[in-house]
Structure 1
Amino acid sequence: MTGYPTATRWGFPVTGAALAILFLFPLLWSGWASVRTGTGFGLENYDRLFTSDHGIRPYHLVNSVTVSALTVGGTLLVATLGGYAFGRFRFPGRDLLFLLTLAILMVPYATILIALYVLLGWIGLEDSLVGLSLVLIMFQLPFSVFMMRNSFEAVPRELEESAQVDGAGSVGVLLRVLLPAVRPGLVTVALFAFLTSWSEFFAPLILLNSTDRFTATLAVVNMRTASHGSIDYAALEAGVVFMAVPCLLLFAFLQRSYVRGFASGAVKG
């Protein structure tokens, strides 16, 4: 039995290191392959990524940034208001409505993209970045509303009551008291919304038809040489690294708030 504490003490770090290597290996391999050339190492693959006829153009990046910004902004707005309502108010059908919101998680979004494409056509948003953003927002809502509801419920009601005694209404309490208190939850929701919208491939593939509205993800997938339609794998690896860098930097910058958001909000209830 004397060896049990030692095994426990070393088991978790070793397991964590093994999992980290397992998850980092594909990215490290892509980084190595993206700078490997026929004669050594260099940035030729990145040059082809941005100069090839089928590579990334500035408007692809603008489209990706636009979709990401709209998705993050829309998700934060709806999830904050929804989480505030579910977490701080009692009204008839609250629990049922919350369950219906979570039920979206049980629907594989790929199975309803065609129906959503038709719906966007009815409202005049087919083949548009706004329509794509609305679809991405919809599929972010279950997790986001769940996170924000739990984040609001974790805030002591005494803070809210004190603000109400000072004459603040519901909107004032939300803006001045609750939003600063649930900042980790907001960061977590925003980070997930950005990661999803920035790297999403299938929804833009179905919902966007015009090449000038393609996102950078579609441009990376379409990277092909002009010779026999073969795929330029080295340039593709450069595209993978290029698309991953903003996600890695953002996650590293917001890591502390992200972890606090899960600890204070998602774990509750």
Structure 2
Amino acid sequence: MRRITGAALAVLFLFPLAWSAFASVRTPTGFGLSNYARLFTADNGIRAEHVFNSIAVSALTVAVTLVVSTLGGYAFGRFSFPGKEALFLLTLAILMVPYATVLIALYVLLGWLGLQDSLIGLSLVLAMFQLPFSIFMMRNSFEAVPKELEESALIDGCTSFGALVRVMLPAVRPGLVTVGLFAFLTSWSEFFAPLILLNSTSKFTMMLAVVNMRTASFGAIDYAALEAGVTFMAVPCLVLFLILQRSYVRGFMSGALRG
């Protein structure tokens, strides 16, 4: 029964993606890659700069999220300080705030910082929204590591930072993979934040470029090319998940069990 239920859920979730892939290669005369050719050659299609922007935003978001959540999770998981639990609960409380309600305020803040309409500013905003969940995951991952490992490193002369780099990080690798994968998937497919925070078409991400294809002359929409764009954007996510799925599942389950 479990296998039947799992198979049914897999079909339910994979059907939209499979349909998009099928529609992306379907042409009026049969099957081919002409839809992908139009995706990259149309006036309002995807350009190389859009691909670069998406890669840059995703990479920077993942880097900032990993660094901050690792340090924050290590502090919450291994150190005691006044107000620790209250601060941790306050961090988690950010998850209850719909991020769309604060984007305008963040847009103004980025203007004060000189990061308005920039990929760096967008990446920092996306990383900020990832941090509550990421810190929660990393704290649980660090707490799951036996304290004896860290104490042995400290006795051997390592500082707290040295123990973190040499001993703790290899031990929490599944948690790092989980946090990094979540940050990548979110930033890669994010639409609303780039729509609000980016003004220049040269800085658009692929998601904005694909959505922009729906705006055509006389209301005509090239749905086949649009499906090609959806499939093209989904491929990196599928490849990364298939490569990292074992570490992802271990990291997510360990974090959930400790939580």
TM-score (normalised: structure 2):
0.98
Task: Give the aligned partner of residue 72 of structure 2.
Answer: 82
CA distance change for structure 1 residues 68 and 44 in 2, over 3 Å: closer, same or farther? same
Quote the Cα distance in structure 1 between the aligned partners of 2:256 and 2:187: 21
Displaced runs of 4 or more, over 6 A: none
Does 1:233 pair with 2:223?
yes
Task: Give the aligned partner of residue 8 of structure 1.
Answer: none
Does 1:18 pair with 2:8?
yes
Q: Which amino acid aligns with 2:63?
A: G
Q: Which amino acid aligns with 2:61?
A: T
Task: Give the aligned partner of residue 111 of structure 2.
Answer: 121
Which of 136, 142, 160 is equivalent to 1:170?
160
Does 1:191 pair with 2:211?
no
Which of 79, 86, 100 is equivalent to 1:96?
86
CA distance change for structure 1 residues 225 and 147 in 2, over 3 Å: closer, same or farther? closer
- CA apart distance, 1:226: 5.0
Q: Which amino acid aligns with 1:58?
A: A
Does 1:58 pair with 2:48?
yes
Task: Give the aligned partner of residue 155 of structure 1.
Answer: 145
Larger radius of gyration: 1
Q: Do the aligned partners of 1:55 and 1:220 also contact (CA within 8 Å) in 2?
A: yes
**SS of the residue aligned with 2:199?**
coil
- CA apart distance, 1:123: 1.0
Could you tell me the percent identity over the aligned residues? Answer: 78
* Number of residues of Structure 1 aligned to a counterpart in Structure 2: 259
Quote the Cα distance in structure 2 between the aligned partners of 1:89 and 1:136: 27
Quote the Cα distance in structure 1 between the aligned partners of 2:5 and 2:251: 24
Which of 238, 252, 258 is equivalent to 1:262?
252
Matches for 1:208-227 after TM superposition, within 5 Å: 208-224=198-214, 226-227=216-217
- CA apart distance, 1:112: 1.0
Q: Do the aligned partners of 1:188 and 1:257 also contact (CA within 8 Å) in 2?
A: yes
Q: Which amino acid aligns with 2:2?
A: F
Q: CA RMSD in A?
A: 0.9
Quote the Cα distance in structure 2 between the aligned partners of 1:239 and 1:55: 9
Query: Gaps (5+ residues) in structure 1?
Result: 1-10
- CA apart distance, 1:236: 0.5
**SS of the residue aligned with 2:258?**
coil
Does 1:245 pair with 2:225?
no
- CA apart distance, 1:224: 4.2
TM-score (normalised: structure 1):
0.95
1:26-74 CA-to-partner distances (Å, cap 9, x unmatched) read: 0000001001111111111100000000000000001000000100000
1:146-185 CA-to-partner distances (Å, cap 9, x unmatched) read: 0000000000000011111111110110000000000000
Quote the Cα distance in structure 2 between the aligned partners of 1:117 and 1:142: 20
Does 1:37 pair with 2:27?
yes
CA distance change for structure 1 residues 227 and 123 in 2, over 3 Å: closer, same or farther? closer
Q: Which amino acid aligns with 2:42?
A: S
Q: Which amino acid aligns with 2:99?
A: Y
**SS of the residue aligned with 1:266?**
helix
**SS of the residue aligned with 1:228?**
helix
